[in-house]
Amino acid sequence: MVFINNFLLLKQVVASHLRPLAKRYVTFLALSPEGQTRQVRFSRLGLAGLGLLGALLLALAGWGFFGEFSVRSQHVRLESLQEENQLLLTQLRQQAALIQALEGEMGKLRAFEGQLRILSGLEPGTEPLVGVGAGGGRELHHQKRQALR
């Protein structure tokens, strides 16, 4: 009940301010190509409504324009990221091929090491010999001589 009373009071206040605007007219004269004049009358309230509608449509058009611009810029960025992704995938495939080639070389080197161990009479092992072929002190040199005898 209070809501309805407040609504009626608001309606009376708004209507009292809008009534003078609704009664005043603005007249437009339109000349036709035949030379006839036509008169169109609008109330100020109607013109204000048309102006508000025009401003609303202009704001919506601006929002749509900037939205389209944003979508296009995101589309361009997405395309550049896809190109970069393809480039990175190509590089990754090249690296994988290089790793496979290196693993093949490591297998050949392990086989060659095994053959060298057999020829030199060393026990086959997976652990590399520390100090062999790398120099060292006299004590290490003496140990090597003892191992070869």
pTM score > 0.85 for this model?
no
Domain that holds residue 81: 2-123
Query: For 38-82, what is each residue's pLDDT tens digit?
Result: 777 777 777 888 899 999 999 999 999 999 999 999 999 999 999
- Tell me the C-alpha distance between 3 and 93, whole Å: 72
Domain membership of residue 143 (yes or no) is no
Q: Which of 19-28, 73-82, 115-124, 137-146 tops mean pLDDT?
A: 73-82
Question: Residue 50's pLDDT is what?
Answer: 87
Question: Residue 149's pLDDT is what?
Answer: 61
Domain membership of residue 137 (yes or no) is no
Domain membership of residue 134 (yes or no) is no
The more confident residue out of 113 and 21 is 113
Task: Report which residue type is found at 86.
Answer: Q
Number of domains the chain contains: 1
Q: How far is CA 110 from the centre of its chain?
A: 47
Domain membership of residue 22 (yes or no) is yes
Kindly report each contact of residues 34-43 with a partner whose C-beta sits within 8 Å and lies 24 or more positions away, as own/partner.
Answer: none
Query: For 89-127, what is each residue's pLDDT tens digit?
Result: 999 999 999 999 999 999 999 999 888 888 887 776 655
Domain membership of residue 136 (yes or no) is no
CB atoms within 10 A of CB 127: 5
Domain membership of residue 24 (yes or no) is yes
Domain membership of residue 18 (yes or no) is yes
Over 70: is that where the pLDDT of 5 sits?
no
Assign residue 121 a region (left: φ > 0; alpha: ψ between -120 and 50; beta: otherwise): left
Q: How far is CA 99 from the centre of its chain?
A: 32
